[in-house]
A and B are shown apart, each in its own frame.
Chain A
């Protein structure tokens, strides 16, 4: 403290000399506040420069050797204009461990918020204490701090930040305790070994009084140490048992690592399917040797004792008192093992979520709160909530971010305890809901839409024209990551497991997320998120693949039975049903889910048992299909400049190594193979190839599973099966090679669609330099007459965008932009992009809302879309630059016109995107009025008894009248009516689900023919 005073005086002195130069300060100056004009964006950074400081996370420790020091900064280049050392000193100046306790006690965490007007920064700091057997007092104080310049963010999002930090702390502490316990146990063994050694050696040598004394001292020290260790262990063990779920999770990681090692040792010959494995094998080996294999030769395990490790004799003098301070302390990764990886990953994702503007966080939150009840929600595209027609007022969550409605969980799960104890262990059982929870996910997603390289490992219900299980598959692909270790720039490279995993996983999540957002087929009902999340997470458990990527541990922990990756036909219906079931998931349903899950497990196992067979089959298919066209395609491929694609790769992975990308693809394939994990290294190359191939338009397709009738005889389901191996390229007849689903050969289909999913997504990624907003901006400004197309979408008329391969990029862009306007319906596959060869049939029309078609040069538009179909479709022909549609005459969509005609110009794409969302909300608001105006009117009552037809005519008339009164005319009427119909259908659906536990009867579909007009695009 006296030293502190010196510092104080020194500071004062400096300060005075500084001030003396300018003017003599009025001693009473401090009494009166200064007038500060807050600037909305500019902040005075470190050393007085005004700069926009992006939010960052800093992990700092109080090192017993150096004092406070920053350890890890997320992102790597974060906080450059910020004096990190000063900050570390400030936040770690006080010891947060609870004062005086006897014996070993696990310290509770503390959370601190502070603001610093000098640097204009606000920080949230979570203090944790880790245990380290090498450290003084066995403790290593760390803190995780979130630093932002936004004055509101921290307090507005306090609960969210707090719960996230607690989760991270929980992961780290659990990992740390495991490590600590292993260390202690080893230490204990060493101690007893030393004791025995001492006794034996003493008995052998000559006795002398001096020697006796030494021995006595040594034994005393040993005894004390042993007692201490015993005491700590007895305190520690119950703590570890508290968190069984987490321990399971870490165990699965460990198994995975072992599996990899093992597999690498033995399975190298099982890759007969590849003929280009050598290079990759080498590559893999190199990587592995840097990490897994290089570790302490007996596999280090957190859970089981190392068998081969022999206890060693300790130098008694160093046990007590004579500590060595010359060696460096262990890093965070060494201290926490898996916990550090997962924790850091979570932090990265969380930062992406929170770094956004408070306004968008807040607006997202409002959107989320209006998603309940979900059957009254009118949604557009991926993340526009038009309106909720049935809000219960109570569900409004006004203020804080974290207290979101988590409709899928009962109160005890969604944990109001987030505000409870900060002690991550104490609160973990109840308070753990992450921001990846259904709702928060949603907001994360919308952030995605705004930021290109956001890394929120977040996925939403992107029912891309296929059953939900497919979603889970893709996500799996991204989740299931293996451990590839490379250098991260974080400071501990010396640890056993390198940090790469995080960076890799970040990139995976990055790309995944980007993909998801960029996918044109984002037709979503956000309220269903948690379903999907469940679904997604489950497979992971089922397959006990290590998802490095943390889905959401807590969810895993809480709810353990929903959905499955591998749906067999038998349980499919049941599954979908359980998935579709809204938030009212009752206990009964959960039970059912469990049974479903069990079934699924069986299926999975079945599939696992004969992966080879499956692969063989796939190959057969391919060889059977390889026709003359294969040449054509391969030539196509060559034309495709690979370098360009490689460029793309770097674009996407931005900060990350390109290897990471490759790893991701490796992952895909690995997952494909699930447990059998044959020779992943070789596969990595395959998938790389895939990525390259994906440059070819033919490689890309999103399924609409039912769409593909094609010559695959092996599958009676009539679905296309596609899978490419090695250099085999797809024939044109395989055009639909996208997702396929087959109940019988579920594994095959998993394999194939997962992979195509992946390549599909990566392709989207490649295009995805443009965000949703950017593509909107581009499309709306560069194409004429888009209002007619949007009108079609909003009035339920299917839209087909067709073009040849040349137009692929613009086609994607249009799809991405238009997907914003697609109202959510319970239909599957409403947005898709595919390469189609066969004719479209009338039955297909109702299956989609927006579809992109890439046609081959040999098939004409007229062939693909026969006249009969075309009447009921809106056709956007990129080649002829034509739109064939019903003309739009009205007011509601005028905003599109004014954007096109540059009456409105938005400098930023996010601004434009939010404006379009706003316009959609305005339309929804009109629909809201119409819907309630109509449902409340008593026309229905008056005509009771008359024929159905008559009734409908009457209702029609009254709705026209209503709309006329409100001032809605022409085409706008159709939009309003259709959108209210959409909500009505959801409610009917909901009714069926809640009452009869079945899906609603067939989705009503009406086609109406109206004279078409052709517009220039």
Chain B
């Protein structure tokens, strides 16, 4: 469809073709123009009824026609996106991008709340190959206004997913014809949309109470192991993958750890469901996997491309491991994503396989915060409310600590102008009583989530090594 349209464009004849407009477009007040024509497809294997999304749209700035919708992935069949709505949104998102440099690799985020249209639209603006040359594109998701709250909860995860997806899409469009690209891209997109739709209904955000966790007397989990899990979980920015043999055990740990996540982090977590086991998806906070053949296989690619490091908890071997520290993870993540794109550019559509790397065991960083917490927790009466309150208190104090750390680092480094040297850091740790490496990492991770860039700023005194690494990446 797009091909024939392209031809008509090339001949310079603008055909007013009514076919492109869906019959149910409603009152279209302007005559149909070529700009209202676009290709459509569906996202396969999706439970539409539970999906909060109405559709995903790719549009671009046409040098002749201005903002133009290029492709629509319909998600909700009942509530089909109408072309006048799409052209409205497209022009909104793209119009202020006239002066954008098409050669930039930036992916800009935009968010539209259009109540008169009844939709909220998160969108990404980027450069990609258009019909002829580079053009400013935008990939946006349409959600009904009622889903705003849900969207705000999944925003961070969706952001990570879409940035990765757009990177791929750009390369595909560069190398292949539009149709092929869309076809391949649909696969990746549908995976992402499917998981995000899943957490709309079933995530850890709802109905998990403390009685479902290991802190309730009805469940048993070894205290030391639990403490390890929690401390490692907190060190890895509240992201964990739990691997076990039975769904109950996996879920018990997932529920317990979810107590330490906030609402939106719980929203982006899935419990393990035996009937419908989900593959691991990057940038979700808590996920479970069943152990197959007693072999430890970790979905390393997905783990590495996640924004934050991950704790891997093996319930059978009682291993609590975590991926590299955040400052190394950032580099590695970048490297992996770039490699993935390079593979794609050379025509390998398959997943990039990342070899498993050394994982730290959580005992590498002993901590006192969580140890004390768990001990005190079990001294408390078994009433769920009391224990729940205690967790809240613990998390509050953790965030207070993080706030202190941010304040101190800010003051000591003179708003980030003085690089953080070891003695300075030692002083701060001493002031805040973060002597144990584990404590420090936990607080630092909490702080990084509130102040992006802090972790690398504080933990970057390896200096030379790091720079070499980033140099390598540049060469790559």
Residue numbers of A with Cβ under 8 A of B are 1, 4-5, 7-8, 11-12, 15, 19, 25, 27-35, 37-42, 52, 89-91, 93-94, 96, 98-100, 107-118, 151-152, 155, 158-159, 162, 357-360, 362-363, 366-367, 369-370, 376, 385, 387-393, 396-400, 419-423, 426, 903-908, 910-911, 914-915, 917-918, 921-922, 924-925, 928-929, 932-933, 935-936
Contacts and interface: CB of A to CB of B under 8 A. Distances in A.
A15 B103 contact: yes
Given A40-B452, A420-B145, A390 B399 contact: no
Contacts of B317: none
Contact of A40 (B63, B96, B408, B416): B416
A903 B337 CA distance: 46
A34 B397 CA distance: 36
A112 B113 CA distance: 6
A7 B104 contact: no
15 contacts: A1-B65, A15-B103, A29-B105, A30-B103, A40-B416, A114-B111, A152-B450, A155-B155, A159-B152, A366-B399, A390-B385, A905-B427, A911-B404, A918-B404, A936-B383
Contact of B116 (A108, A358, A914, A936): A108
A6 to B, nearest CB: 10
Interface centre among A31, A98, A419 (most CB of B within 10 A): A31
A1017 B457 CA distance: 41
Interface centre among A37, A359, A908 (most CB of B within 10 A): A359
A387 B393 contact: yes
Dominant secondary structure of chain B at its interface with chain A? helix
A29 B103 contact: yes
Contact of B96 (A93, A110, A358): A93
A388 B392 contact: yes
Given A115-B109, A904-B431, A393 B407 contact: no
A363 B111 CA distance: 26
Given A42-B415, A114-B111, A11 B385 contact: no
Interface centre among B400, B452, B456 (most CB of A within 10 A): B400
Contacts of A426: 115
B188 to A, nearest CB: 16
Contacts of B170: 30-31
A42 B331 CA distance: 20
B75 interface: no
Nearest to A116: B108
B470 interface: yes
Interface in B69-116: 84, 88, 91-92, 95-96, 98-99, 101-116
A906 B108 contact: no
Contacts of A907: 408, 411-412
A4 B337 CA distance: 35
Contacts of B331: 35
B93 to A, nearest CB: 9
Interface in B167-190: 167, 170-171, 174
A37 B458 CA distance: 13
B66 interface: yes
Interface string B370-384: 000000100111011
Nearest to A935: B381
Contacts of B383: 932, 936
B290 interface: no
B41 interface: no
Given A32-B338, A33-B334, A908-B410, 14 more contacts: A1-B65, A7-B98, A30-B105, A30-B170, A33-B105, A111-B112, A114-B110, A152-B450, A162-B113, A359-B406, A366-B392, A908-B408, A932-B380, A935-B381
Nearest to A361: B450
B149 interface: yes
Given A5-B63, A12-B102, A38 B393 contact: no
Contact of A357 (B145, B379, B427, B451): B451
Contacts of A34: 105
A387 B395 CA distance: 11
B386 interface: yes
Contacts of A108: 115-116
Given A910-B407, A929-B376, A399 B115 contact: no
A28 B96 contact: no
A369 B389 CA distance: 11
B279 interface: no
Interface centre among B101, B163, B416 (most CB of A within 10 A): B101
Contacts of A398: 261-266
B407 A914 contact: yes
Given A39-B457, A94-B91, A94-B92, A393 B392 contact: yes
A389 B390 CA distance: 8
Given A96-B92, A905-B431, A928 B411 contact: no
Nearest to A27: B103
Given A115-B108, A367-B396, A918 B401 contact: yes
Contacts of B388: 391-393
Nearest to A904: B431
Interface in B118-165: 127, 134, 145, 148-149, 152-153, 155-156, 163
